[in-house]
Amino acid sequence: MDDPTDGYGAPRRFWRALDRRRPPGTDAVTHGWRSPLRGPWLTSVYGLALLVTLPLVIITGLLDYAAYGPQFGQALPTDVGWLRLPPFDWPTRPSWLFRLTQGLHVGLGIVLIPVVLGKLWSVIPKLFDWPPARSVAQLLERLSLLLLVGGILFQIATGLLNIQYSYLFGFDFYTAHYFGAWVFTAAFVVHVVLKLPRLVTALRSRPARAELGTARTRTRPEPPDPDRLVPPRPGPATVSRRGAVALVGGGSLLLAALTFGQSLDGPLRRTALLLPRGREPGGGPNGFPVNRSAAAAGIQAADTGPGWRLTLRGAGRTVTLDRAGLLAMAQHTASLPIACVEGWSTQQTWTGVRLRDLAALAGLPDPAAAHVRSLERAGLFRQATLQANQVLDADSLLALRVNGVDLSPDHGFPARIIVPALPGVHCTKWVTDIEFRARSDG
C-alpha cells in the first residue's frame, strides 16, 4: 500500500496481509483528524515542557513518601517490596521543606494537566494506526506507550480524587498512586530514551520564534514525518500553532492561579478555588485551615477538659502532667508551617514545650524515636512516630497555644505536635501520650 519500505524489516507479506485486515472505520477516523498543526514540532513543544517538569513531579512525589518515615512502617503503602527507597532520616531544616516538596508535587501535577491533554491531542491519530505494529520492536514501543499514557492519566485521576475526597479512599489511594508512579516512571524513561533524538530534530527544524510569529492564515502543515504525526490529507488551519501553545499555556496558568493560593497565607488564599475544604476557617488567631475537626474526630469536650492528662513514657519511667503543669514548664515559640498531603499549607506561630525537654523529663534526653498517640480512638492519623532529629530540633514542640491564644478544639486543644518540615499528617492533635524509645546499645 502506501509505504512499501517500512524500514522495520518486517516480512512484507505479513504486513500486507495485516494491512488488508484493517478494521472498518479506522481509515475514516484517521482521516477525520486533519489539523495541519499536528506534526513533530508541536508534539515536541508540549513534550519538552513535560520533559522538564515531570521529573520534578516524580522526584517530589518520592520525597513525600520518604518524608512519612517509611523506616517506621508509617508511609503508605507500608510494604513496597523491592521498590523500597534508600532509607534516610527526613531533615527538619529548612522548616518549609515538606511545604515545598508537597506543594510542588500537587501544584505541578494539577498545572500540567492541560499540557498532558495538549500532547495527547497532538498524537491521538496514532492510536488508530493500522497495522498496530510493523515489528516486534515497534510492538514493544507501543505497549510502553500504553503504560505511559495509561500511567499518567491514572496518576492524575487518583491524585485529583485524593485531594478532593482525602482519606475516604485513603489506603487504596496510596497503594495505587505509589505503584502507578513506578509504572509511569519506567514508561517515561523508555519514552524519553526512544524519542529524545526526534524531539531535538523537530525543535531544530522550525525556529520557535518564527513559528510562534506565524498567523493562522499562514499556518502550513509540516512535511510528512517518519512517525506519521502529520496528517496525510491536512485541512486548513482553524488556529495557529501560536494559538495552540497559548491555549495550553493559558489553561495551565489558569489552573495555577486557582491552585497556588492554597499554599499562601492572607487574603490570596481565597483565590484557591480548587482547594477542596477549609476555605472558611473563620477569623481570629485560630482562623487557618482545619483538616479534620474535633467533632469529625469524635473528640469529646469531657476528655479535653480539666481531667485531661499527658502521659510521658521513657526508660522505665512514666510521668503524668496536666495542662497547668505543661504551661509551668519553659515555653518556646516558633513560626512553623503545617503542610498537608492534599497540597495546602499554612504558616503559624506556635507556643509550647520543647519535645526534647519532655524527653529529658521522661529520662531519655537522647531518644531514638518518639511514638505519639492522640485521644482519637479510630482514624488513620491518631498516632505518629517521630525520628530522633525531629524530637531534638530546638523548634519541635508540643504546642499548647497558637498565635498568642490557646489552641482551638479543632486545632488540637489541649496539645498538639508541631515539628519543622514534618508532614502535616504527623502533627498529631489532641495528644494524650508520648512514648520515647531508647537507642539500642551497640
Q: Residues in the site for ligand MTE, rule: CB under 6 A?
A: 289-292, 297, 338, 340, 374, 376, 379, 381-382, 411, 424-425, 427-430
User: Given the complex with ligand MTE, which of 221 and 337 has the nearer CB atom?
Assistant: 337
User: Given the complex with ligand MTE, which of 304 and 428 has the nearer CB atom?
Assistant: 428
3-state helix, strand, coil in the chain (%, to 5): 50, 10, 40
Per CB under 5 A, 278 contacts Mo ion: no
Residue 338: name its binding partner from Mo ion, ligand MTE, none (Cβ under 5 to 8 Å by kind): ligand MTE
User: Given the complex with Mo ion, which of 167 and 182 has the nearer CB atom?
Assistant: 167
Strands (E), 209-323: 310-313, 318-321
- The residues in 281-320 that bind Mo ion, with binding defined as CB under 5 A, are 291
Phi-psi region of 188 (alpha: psi -120 to 50; beta: other; left: phi over 0): alpha
When binding is defined by CB under 5 A, the residue of 424, 426, 428, 437 that contacts Mo ion is 424
Residue 401: name its binding partner from ligand MTE, Mo ion, none (Cβ under 5 to 8 Å by kind): none
Residue 77: name its binding partner from Mo ion, ligand MTE, none (Cβ under 5 to 8 Å by kind): none
DSSP code, position 137 = H
Give whole-number Cα distances, 17 to 5, 14, 20, 23, 442, in Å. Answer: 15, 5, 5, 12, 71
When binding is defined by CB under 5 A, the residue of 110, 244, 340, 434 that contacts Mo ion is 340
Contact 162, 342 (CB under 8 A): yes
User: Given the complex with Mo ion, which of 131 and 337 has the nearer CB atom?
Assistant: 337
In angstroms, what is the minimal distance from the CB of 173 to Mo ion? 13
User: Cα separation of 154 and 149, whole Å?
Assistant: 8
In angstroms, what is the minimal distance from the CB of 423 to ligand MTE? 8
Angle subtended by helix axes 97-111 and 113-123, to nearest 10: 40
DSSP code, position 385 = E
Residue 241: name its binding partner from ligand MTE, Mo ion, none (Cβ under 5 to 8 Å by kind): none
Residue whose beta carbon is closest to Mo ion? 340
Residue 376: name its binding partner from Mo ion, ligand MTE, none (Cβ under 5 to 8 Å by kind): ligand MTE
Per CB under 5 A, 337 contacts Mo ion: no
User: Given the complex with ligand MTE, which of 92 and 374 has the nearer CB atom?
Assistant: 374
In angstroms, what is the minimal distance from the CB of 276 to ligand MTE? 12
When binding is defined by CB under 5 A, the residue of 425, 427, 431, 434 that contacts Mo ion is 425
Strand order in the sheet with 431-437: 318-321, 310-313, 431-437, 369-374, 383-387
Per CB under 5 A, 109 contacts Mo ion: no
User: Cα separation of 382 and 370, whole Å?
Assistant: 14
Residue whose beta carbon is closest to ligand MTE? 424
Amino acid at the residue 283:
G
In angstroms, what is the minimal distance from the CB of 364 to ligand MTE? 23
Please name the residues in contact with 300: beta carbons below 8 A apart, sequence gap of 6 or more. none
Cα-Cα-Cα-Cα dihedral sign, residues 223, 224, 225, 231: positive
Per CB under 5 A, 275 contacts Mo ion: no
User: Cα separation of 309 and 321, whole Å?
Assistant: 6
Give the Cα-Cα-Cα angle 185, 259, 46 (nearest 5 degrees). Answer: 45
Radius of gyration of the chain (CA): 28
User: Given the complex with ligand MTE, which of 206 and 426 has the nearer CB atom?
Assistant: 426
User: Given the complex with ligand MTE, which of 374 and 390 has the nearer CB atom?
Assistant: 374
User: Given the complex with Mo ion, which of 122 and 158 has the nearer CB atom?
Assistant: 158
User: Cα separation of 13 and 4, whole Å?
Assistant: 10
User: Given the complex with Mo ion, which of 198 and 292 has the nearer CB atom?
Assistant: 292
Cell triple for 289: 485551615
Q: How far is CA 365 from the centre of its chain?
A: 36
Contact 154, 180 (CB under 8 A): yes
Residue 427: name its binding partner from Mo ion, ligand MTE, none (Cβ under 5 to 8 Å by kind): ligand MTE
- Contact footprint for Mo ion (CB under 5 A): 291, 340, 424-425
